[in-house]
A and B are shown apart, each in its own frame.
Chain A
Amino acid sequence: DAGVTQSPTHLIKTRGQQVTLRCSPKSGHDTVSWYQQALGQGPQFIFQYYEEEERQRGNFPDRFSGHQFPNYSSELNVNALLLGDSALYLCASSSREYGYTFGSGTRLTVV
């Protein structure tokens, strides 16, 4: 049973550019959450999607946006990249019956 799949695994972008990260949830999970993890810190909650709508949101600017598709997969978009956006971006899927399963993340480097 495939777990949570994230792509790409690594990415290098230039300041001011836009980036899209992708996530396929674990089979049977209908909810997708995104987290940002800076070096040496715990993951910080960005937002959560359920039934193709944003259900919860953390303290992140509007430059961070997302989308969930009918097959429950999700995208995280970040506009106008800043150096401080360099981090590991984690996707986690869940459902009411099951707890969170995290992907291995996308390592984003902004130069």
Chain B
Amino acid sequence: DAKTTQPPSMDCAEGRAANLPCNHSTISGNEYVYWYRQIHSQGPQYIIHGLKNNETNEMASLIITEDRKSSTLILPHATLRDTAVYYCIVGRGSNYKLTFGKGTLLTVNP
């Protein structure tokens, strides 16, 4: 599985957009980019995933560069409840194992 690189921590002001970057330069053509987040002492929660095109759902937007070597997760209006560790994962499909890194601790400040 391709490895990902994320900053260890980021801060964001409440109500502002949070942009979380991820590098995955060794991604293969059939691998998806997944984003999960984990709030303290809970299990990881699925946010969004994509293959080539940008994706948007009720939680976030995912922007994947044309060469697919990096992506950005966007939380359009961050709230205090969005404080969590965010994991960017590259994987082969919804039933394949997920390889987690250390993720990015996003702290949303009032």
B43 touches A4 (CB 8 A): yes
A45 touches B99 (CB 8 A): yes
If A96-B94, A99-B94 touch, whether A42 touches B43 (CB-CB below 8 Å) is no
The answer to whether B97 and A45 have CB atoms under 8 Å apart is yes
Identify which of B45, B49, B93, B101 contacts A42 (C-beta below 8 A). Answer: B101
Give residues of chain A (88-104) contacting chain B, Cβ–Cβ below 8 Å. Answer: 90, 92, 94-104
A5 to B96, CA, bound (A): 21
Q: Is the interface of B mostly helix, strand, loop or mixed?
A: loop
1/0 contact trace for B87-106 toward A, CB 8 Å? 10000011111111111000
Residues A42 and B102 in contact in the complex (CB < 8 Å), given A92-B43, A101-B46, A102-B43: yes
Residues 77-111 of A at the B interface (beta carbon under 8 Å): 90, 92, 94-105
Q: Is A33 among interface residues, defined by CB-CB distance under 8 A?
A: yes
Alpha-carbon gap, A4 to B43, bound state (A): 10
Q: Which A4-45 residues sit within 8 Å CB-CB of chain B?
A: 4, 31, 33, 35, 40-45
Instruction: Pick the contact of B43: A31, A45, A105 (CB < 8 A).
Output: A105
For B48, the closest partner residue in chain A by CB is: A99
* Contacting residues, chain B, for A94 (C-beta < 8 A): 94-95
Cβ contact within 8 Å between A56 and B97: yes
> Roughly how many angstroms separate A98 CA and B95 CA in the complex, as a whole number?
8
- A92 CB to closest chain B CB (Å) equals 7
Output the least CB separation between B58 and chain A (Å): 15
- Residue of A35, A42, A90 with highest tally of chain B CB at under 10 A: A42
* Chain B interface (Cβ < 8 Å from any Cβ of A): 34, 36, 41-46, 49, 85, 87, 93-103
Having A45-B98, A94-B95, A102-B45, one finds 18 other A-B pairs with CB under 8 Å, namely A31-B95, A33-B97, A35-B100, A42-B100, A42-B101, A42-B102, A43-B98, A48-B97, A56-B97, A90-B44, A92-B43, A94-B94, A96-B93, A99-B46, A100-B36, A101-B46, A104-B42, A105-B42
